[in-house]
Amino acid sequence: MDFTDYHTRLAAYVLLVDDGAADGQERVLLAWWNGEGHSDPAWSLPGGGIEFDESVRDGLVREVFEETGFHVEPGGLLAEHFFTGRGRTFDGWFRSQRFVFDATITGGELGTTEVDGSTDHAAWVPLAELEGQPRADIVDVALAARAARTVPR
């Protein structure tokens, strides 16, 4: 299949882990994706689709602010992942290319700023409580990449 035969969705996400919580538990910042009628609601990483006229990092900063209320400074690339499928809102195939970055919160306060968007709210979720909760696969992709990075080589 030639690249002109399918749609492409470019997306960027951030993995923010707080290991300094008062109770000693590591927490991850997640956004509650409402499903937008496409699938069941689930936790996801803050981030999303990159607009046609913005860089991946600029889109990441915009998306994180919309979904969490936090301003971030993107760091290094943590993981890249893609999947393919059939379009839900158009005929034909698509490729979803996703990038996960480390980042640092530089300001703002927790609270979703987008109106009528795909994110209902954001929260710091203890990693120990994430098991068994509905979550998008990008959460697991990011956490696996983080675990692989911290394993001594």
Structure tokens at 132: 């068994």
> CB–CB of 30/110 below 8 Å?
no
Question: pLDDT for 50-106, tens place per residue?
Answer: 999 999 999 999 999 999 999 999 999 999 999 998 877 778 888 889 999 999 999
Please give the distance of CA 103 from its chain centroid, rounded to a whole number.
12
Residues 18, 80: Cα–Cα separation, whole Å: 22
Question: pLDDT for 104-151, tens place per residue?
Answer: 999 999 998 887 788 889 999 999 999 999 999 999 999 999 999 876
Residues 107, 125: Cα–Cα separation, whole Å: 19
The structure's pTM equals 0.88
Q: Which of 45, 54, 55 is nearest to 13 (CA)?
A: 45
